[in-house]
Amino acid sequence: MAASAGLAPGWLRGARRVPSPNCDARPSGAPARLLVLHAISLPRGVYQGDAIERLFTNRLDPAAHAAFRSLEGLKVSSHFLIRRSGALLQFVPLGARAWHAGASGWRGRGRCNDFSVGVELEGTDDSAFEDAQYARLAALVRSLQAALPLRAVAAHSDIAPGRKTDPGAGFDWLRWLRALARG
C-alpha cells in the first residue's frame, strides 16, 4: 500500500482506529478491487451512539435494546464507518478481510469480502445522507484509489440482491460522483 496515501500497515491516517476482531487474512492474490457501500444505524434511525462500534467489536449488549436481541452472537465488521458528522472510523486494516458483505457476488465472483473494502454510512436505506458524509466518502475513495487497485463501487444491495437493501434510495449516487470528481 502506498505510504503517500496516508496508509501505514493498512490504517488510514486521519481515521479514528477502533480495531475489530471480526476480520481475517485476505486470500492470497485477492487484492481489494471493489468498494462496497453500506448503511447502518443501531437502533434503526438512531444516530451518534456507540452501538455500531460495540457491534463491530463484539461488545454490544443484546439486552440494552429490543432491536439488539437479533444481533446476539453476530460477528461482523467493516473497514470504515462514516458518521453523520463526517467523522471517519476504521475497524479493520485494508490488508485484512472485514466481514461486511456476507453471502454475496459481484460480476460472477462470489465471496465479496475476499476482494472488497467495506464502507458503512451511518444512516438507513430509506433516509437521506448528510453533506459531510458525501464529502468524507469522496475523500476516502480518492485516498483508497491511490493505494489499492479499486476498479468498482457497488451497493450492498447490488452484491446481495434480495437479501440487502442498503445503502438504499436515500443515497444519491450522482451527488457522490460529482463530489468525487471535484476532488
pLDDT bin (cut points 50, 70, 90) of residue 183 is confident
Set out the domains of the chain in order of their start, with CATH numbers: 12-41+76-182 (3.40.80.10)
Cβ atoms of residues 145 and 11 within 8 Å: no
pLDDT digits (tens, 9 = 90+) for 35-75: 999 999 999 999 999 999 999 999 999 999 999 999 999 99
Q: Output b/e per residue, 165-178; b: 16+ Cβ within 10 A.
A: bbbbeebeeeebee
pLDDT digits (tens, 9 = 90+) for 20-33: 999 999 999 999 99
| pLDDT above 80 for 123 | yes
Question: What are the beta bridge partners of residue 34?
Answer: 116, 152
Q: Considering the chain, what percentage of its residues have pLDDT values greater than 90?
A: 93
Whether cis (ω within 30° of 0) applies to the bond prior to 43 is: yes
Cβ atoms of residues 118 and 106 within 8 Å: no
Whether 120 is catalytic is yes
Name the active-site residue from 72, 120, 122, 130: 120
**C-alpha cell, 130:** 448528510
